[in-house]
Amino acid sequence: MRNLHIPSRSPAYAKNAMVATSHPDATKNALKIIEKGGNAFDAAIAAAAILGVVEAHSTGLGGDCFCIFYSQKDKTVKAINGSGVSISNIDYGKVKVTEDNTIDPYCADAVTIPGAVAAWLKINADYGSLSMHDLLSPAVNLAENGYVVADVIADMWVRETEKLKKDKDCQRVFLKENKPFSAGELHFQPELAKTMREIAKNGREGFYNGWVAEDIVKKLNSIGGRHTLNDFAKLEVDYVEPIFSHYRDYKVFECPPNGQGIVALMILNILQEFDVSSLGPDSFERIHLEAEASKIAFHHRNKYLGDPKFSNIPVEKLLSREYSKKLSKMINFKSTINNLEILPLQNNKDTVYISVIDKDRNCVSFINSIFHPFGSGILTPNSGILLHNRGASFTLEKPHPNFYEPNKRPMHTIIPGLLMNQDTPIMPFGVMGAHYQPVGQSHFLTNVIDFEMDVQLALDHQRSFFYDGVLSLEKNFNKNIINLLEKSGHKIDFIDIPHGGGQAIMINQNNILIGGSDPRKDGIALGF
């Protein structure tokens, strides 16, 4: 139980079903979907659609999606890769680049074909109980009749104002007299409502063909893109075989590459070689160990990860116990590792993660993103779709596995997780925040497993993140710990926006649901 003298909140408890998201409107309406006769899959799709309206800087129809789930019908863990591919006709001579020779994240070159809608439709067709009209109706209502802007979202709006001014359609929809919307104000997206109605009526044809696809292609072509209607029409999403690793007495399941779930598993594999519970949750040793393990895992990510259809990724080797034992020997508690190359990649802070469990104990771990805050900053004029910029994750360095090529999926940061006790699902979980996600997942799981925190406390707990040569701390760390970290060789800074967000729902030994939602977002966990 939490210390009642320290400001926080208790986890949510429920007997039948539970939803945890990063926004109350999404949680509340997704729970209503279950009460109406829907299942966990239906609720997750409804929540994702709502979040695309009320948390537009993080997600939407113009982004990608991954889902890992346990289906009581199939009695197994499955995953779906809803990440889109690059265009067919790349003109390398015209690709806009940054000073670091990476793809400019705010141009048409960065927009890969959005895969989220295709994934939603596939999941609904194969596992849903209700129609897409039922699932999209709450989001349509909020987009058409207005929703109230929440605090964290309003803060991000302020930070991204100049970006929104650069696109006339973004400016029209997301700014009011060139100023961002404030917390407590109403915001409307009528064009987006129209698009969701089209998807509800015509399914895949309503997004990847017809007037919606034409609107997207026309907008991208007008600013230098080489996207075609055929690129949209041929986009497919796939069921993929999940990967897993053991941590203590549990199995941790992740989606396979092109996602970075393997990085989370590598970190956990390295941590497993140490007695983490003996270190203390807030100790120098624990923070240092996480940083060094992350450093090693990210080095391997940047060396090997890309689209497995284009290159051979040695998943079995990277996840073997023998290899993790070897990697763990690189860690010294008196000094830092300084000789591992980690390629600079585009970073972001915005994604939505959704955790759902229904009365039948279907467990859905669902993540949706447009990558950077407000994605590419490119909004379609008639369909109201804010397009992601996931293509900025590609590298332009040959012959890297993640090299920018036609019809290829980029290395992806969004990763839903699922914890199993042997063959029994016990917790869909996820932590948001781009490159931070595998670090956040491992930190959360060790909080739960090694330090026996409840899911809410595990999400609340202070976070650190080693990336790009710096150990970035949230602003509540003890000064003595900071001094020890600096003495061991860490370069320290303090992050302005807290690391990530997160949700989780656990099934306890009494078959009761226990849910948590990260205070770094506006969200909540609710059940009945």
According to DSSP, residue 393 is labeled: G
Secondary structure (3-state) at 128: coil
With respect to residue 86, please indicate whether it lies within any of the assigned structural domains: yes
With respect to residue 364, please indicate whether it lies within any of the assigned structural domains: yes
Residue type at position 242? P
With respect to residue 312, please indicate whether it lies within any of the assigned structural domains: no
With respect to residue 382, please indicate whether it lies within any of the assigned structural domains: yes
φ, ψ (nearest 5 deg) of residue 342: -125, 115
**pLDDT tens, residue by residue, 389-444:** 999 999 999 999 999 999 999 999 999 999 999 899 999 999 999 899 999 999 99
With respect to residue 176, please indicate whether it lies within any of the assigned structural domains: yes
Please, how many CA atoms are within 13 Å of residue 33, restricted to the half-sphere of its CB?
Answer: 36
> Out of 21, 112, 351, 413, which one is annotated catalytic?
351
Band (220; pLDDT cuts 50, 70, 90): very high
**pLDDT tens, residue by residue, 410-425:** 999 999 999 999 899 9
With respect to residue 323, please indicate whether it lies within any of the assigned structural domains: no
**pLDDT tens, residue by residue, 325-358:** 999 999 999 999 988 766 555 555 568 999 999 9
Residue type at position 485? L
Counted residue by residue, the chain has a size of: 528
Which stretches of 343-433 are assigned E, i.e. beta strand? 352-357, 363-369, 378-379, 386-387, 417-421, 424-431
> Whole-angstrom Cα distance, residue 192 to residue 142?
10
pLDDT at 8: 81
According to DSSP, residue 101 is labeled: S
Q: Are 389 and 372 in contact (CB under 8 A)?
A: yes
With respect to residue 486, please indicate whether it lies within any of the assigned structural domains: no
How many angstroms separate the Cα of 387 from the Cα of each of 22, 106, 193, 339? 21, 10, 16, 37
Torsion from C-alpha of 240, 246, 249, 250, nearest 10 degrees = -20
**pLDDT tens, residue by residue, 234-283:** 999 999 999 999 999 999 999 999 999 999 999 999 999 999 999 999 99
How many domains in the chain?
1
Domain that holds residue 80: 25-67+74-236+350-393
Residue of 119, 94, 105 lying closest to 390 (CA atoms): 105
pLDDT at 350: 66
Tell me which residue has tokens 């040793």. 285
Give the tokens for residue 87.
């265009």
With respect to residue 417, please indicate whether it lies within any of the assigned structural domains: no
Please, how many CA atoms are within 13 Å of residue 385, restricted to the half-sphere of its CB?
Answer: 30
Catalytic, 395? Answer no
User: Which pTM does this prediction carry?
Assistant: 0.96
